[in-house]
């Protein structure tokens, strides 16, 4: 095709490729992110609601944890998926503030949308946002309060209580804050590996029936006949942990053994029995009273150990066995023939007890307990799962606070102070067009206190005006008062958060906003459209048929 002798149009991309670009593409991406923000913003704060999410298998999840919601929303839009990534990064790095980071990123994009519409270059906006982010982070570091080591446990309890204030367990926060702080203090203080805090969920009972075990507890494993005769309680037992199978295995289907007389066959059978007996005899001679293994322990071994007053458990999960090693000492053995005393662990008390409808094995009073177990109780499985997510956030907050002593006040106080500072800084120091962008960022920060008020049913406009006045007067910790529906000094009210939460949230939100603003073209090829056909309303299997047809060499339609 040619236009009046001009150079003919050259098609570079495949036929059917969907290509959209320019200002319209940036605004489309911003609108997609705002749709995600609208879904999640109602969950922010102590009076935020919970979302009920139902997946394709009909499994329900009730949560207000930002990272969990973003993960389960199954977002298809490629630009909006960036918000999922920042929620996950905030969860991994800090553990809390996952909803805040998504709401903040959405609000930044909403504020700069008019500038994009008016034709301001994306690069100018991105430079302004990055500059505003750097100023904001420096301001947070400047105003953050360093806590004294003298009352460390009390400080950590306050931080954990603030993290729980927006969760289902806020009514029981006093009970759980002690549990969370004890759990983190039980870890090795050098690496603070939160994966060594085992969390076990047992439906039934009340929340206050939850247990903190300073050691290891895990659910009774699958056991064979003879288990009933084994002792279920020991004092100061020696513990051996194995990666060995103690079970008679049937021969392989294609195995072949040629024998000339019956005695030879009997020798083959006896040899197999002798091997397993030698293993069990070697374990018995070590003096161990508790035998744990990652692999199965069969009925023969179970009965053998029962006759000798030894407790055994096979098919113990790898995580639980690692935690037993951390608590009781010793090491995991891959052979039974050369086990020395230093390879064995010990604890003050081993017992098997009933919790709800489950039997649990407890290892308590361990000499080097660098691990612990939280046994959670509750009425419904979804409720216990949400308690677990809430405790994870609080544990991560306490863990970060041990390494970083600086704190700020929550309830929108920190955001309002940074916002007020950015407005005055932009007026004084930035004469060119970036001033408007920095003011947009400052205005976007106000979304946190505004949304907190909206979710609590307060008059957001009235409270925000009061907050602005207080911060102009120099009350840097003035934030939303949820008790009296007004404004209060949240530092004095012990609404504390680690400054790391705020710094990470601002940096992640700005990075995500800049990334979305920098994308001005999206190219989708026909194959990817076919794969997404089920989500666009085509009948199930239509996309697969289109792809299968292409594979047979059918012509394109």
CA geometry: angle at 129 spanning 124 and 134, to 5°? 130
d(CA 522, CA 269): 68
pLDDT tens digits, one per residue of 283-292: 888 888 899 9
At residue 421, the pLDDT reads 93
- Contact assessment for residue 484 and residue 498, using Cβ atoms and an 8 Å cutoff: no
HSE value, Cβ hemisphere, 13 Å, CA-based, for 335: 4
Quote the crossing angle between the two packed helices 262-285 and 299-307, to the nearest 10°.
Answer: 50
Look at 231-240, 419-428, 440-449, 535-544 and tell me which has the smallest mean pLDDT.
Answer: 535-544
Sign of the alpha-carbon torsion through 79, 83, 84, 85: positive
- As a whole number, mean pLDDT of residues 543-556 equals 38
465-491 b/e with 16+ CB inside 10 Å = b? Answer: ebbbebbeeebbbbbbbbeeeebbbbb
d(CA 275, CA 284): 15
d(CA 150, CA 173): 23
At residue 506, the pLDDT reads 94
pLDDT tens digits, one per residue of 214-236: 888 989 888 887 788 888 888 88
For residue 121, which phi and psi values (nearest 5 degrees)? -60, 140
Looking at the chain, the whole-number percentage of residues with pLDDT higher than 90 is: 22
- As a whole number, mean pLDDT of residues 408-431 equals 89
Q: In the structure encoding, which two tokens stand for residue 352, read together?
A: 């098997």
d(CA 40, CA 105): 12
- Terminal-residue alpha carbon distance, the chain: 21
d(CA 62, CA 116): 37
| In 257-337, alpha helices (H) | 262-285, 299-307, 318-328
Q: In the structure encoding, which two tokens stand for residue 333, read together?
A: 């053995």
3-class SS shares of the chain: helix, strand, coil, % to 5: 50, 15, 30
* β-bridge partners, 234: 350
Contacting residues for 297 by C-beta, under 8 A, at least 6 apart: 224, 245, 246, 247, 291, 312, 313, 314, 315
Contacting residues for 534 by C-beta, under 8 A, at least 6 apart: 540, 542, 543
d(CA 154, CA 151): 5
- Contact assessment for residue 376 and residue 359, using Cβ atoms and an 8 Å cutoff: no
pLDDT tens digits, one per residue of 80-96: 889 999 999 998 888 88
pTM above 0.95, yes or no: no
Quote the crossing angle between the two packed helices 434-445 and 413-429, to the nearest 10°.
Answer: 170
Look at 227-241, 418-432, 500-514, 526-540 and tell me which has the smallest mean pLDDT.
Answer: 526-540
At residue 228, the pLDDT reads 81
pLDDT tens digits, one per residue of 469-523: 999 998 999 999 988 888 999 888 888 888 999 999 999 999 999 999 988 777 7
């Amino acid at each position: 095709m040619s236009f009046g002798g001009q150079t003919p149009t050259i098609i570079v991309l495949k036929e059917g490729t969907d290509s959209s670009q320019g200002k319209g593409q940036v605004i489309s991406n911003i609108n997609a992110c705002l749709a995600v923000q609208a879904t999640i913003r109602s969950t922010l704060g102590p009076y935020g609601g919970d979302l009920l999410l139902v997946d394709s298998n009909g499994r329900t999840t009730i949560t207000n944890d930002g990272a969990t919601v973003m993960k389960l929303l199954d977002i298809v839009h490629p630009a909006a998926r960036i918000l999922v990534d920042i929620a996950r990064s905030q969860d991994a790095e800090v553990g809390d503030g996952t909803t805040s980071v998504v709401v903040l990123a959405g609000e930044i994009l909403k504020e700069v949308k008019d500038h994009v519409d008016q034709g301001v270059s994306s690069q100018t906006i991105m430079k302004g946002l990055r500059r505003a982010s750097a100023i904001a982070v420096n301001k947070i570091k400047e105003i953050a309060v360093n806590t004294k080591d003298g009352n460390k446990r009390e400080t950590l309890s306050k931080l954990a209580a603030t993290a729980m204030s927006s969760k289902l367990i806020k009514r029981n926060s006093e009970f759980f804050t002690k549990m969370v702080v004890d759990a983190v203090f039980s870890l090795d203080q050098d690496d603070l590996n939160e994966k060594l805090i085992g969390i076990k969920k047992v439906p039934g009972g009340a929340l206050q029936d939850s247990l903190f075990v300073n050691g290891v507890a895990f659910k009774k494993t699958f056991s064979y006949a003879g288990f009933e005769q084994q002792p279920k309680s020991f004092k100061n037992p020696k513990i051996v942990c194995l990666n060995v199978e103690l079970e008679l295995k049937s021969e392989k289907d294609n195995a072949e053994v040629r024998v000339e007389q019956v005695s030879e066959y009997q020798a083959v059978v006896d040899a197999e029995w002798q091997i397993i007996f030698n293993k069990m005899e070697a374990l018995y001679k070590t003096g161990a009273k508790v035998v744990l293994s990652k692999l199965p322990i069969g009925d023969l071994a179970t009965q053998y150990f029962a006759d000798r007053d030894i407790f055994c458990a096979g098919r113990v999960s790898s995580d639980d066995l690692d935690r037993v090693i951390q608590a009781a000492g010793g090491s995991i053995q891959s052979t039974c023939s050369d086990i020395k005393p230093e390879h064995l662990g010990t604890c003050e008390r081993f017992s098997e007890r009933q919790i709800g409808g489950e039997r649990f094995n407890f290892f308590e009073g361990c000499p080097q307990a660098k691990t612990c177990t939280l046994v959670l109780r509750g009425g419904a499985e979804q409720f216990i799962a949400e308690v677990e997510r809430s405790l994870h956030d609080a544990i991560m907050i306490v863990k970060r606070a041990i390494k970083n002593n600086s704190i700020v006040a929550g309830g929108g106080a920190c955001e309002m102070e940074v916002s007020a500072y950015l407005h005055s800084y932009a007026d004084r120091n930035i004469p060119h067009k970036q001033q408007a962008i920095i003011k947009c960022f400052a205005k976007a920060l106000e979304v946190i206190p505004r949304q907190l008020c909206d979710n609590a049913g307060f008059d957001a406009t009235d409270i925000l005006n009061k907050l602005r006045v207080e911060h102009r007067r120099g009350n840097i910790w003035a934030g939303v008062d949820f008790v009296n529906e007004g404004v209060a000094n949240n530092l004095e009210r012990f609404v504390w958060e680690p400054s790391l939460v705020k710094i990470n949230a601002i940096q992640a939100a700005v990075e995500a906003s800049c990334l979305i603003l920098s994308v001005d073209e999206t190219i989708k090829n026909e194959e990817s459209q076919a794969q997404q056909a089920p989500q666009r309303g085509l009948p199930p299997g239509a996309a697969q048929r289109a792809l299968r047809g292409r594979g047979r060499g059918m012509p394109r339609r």
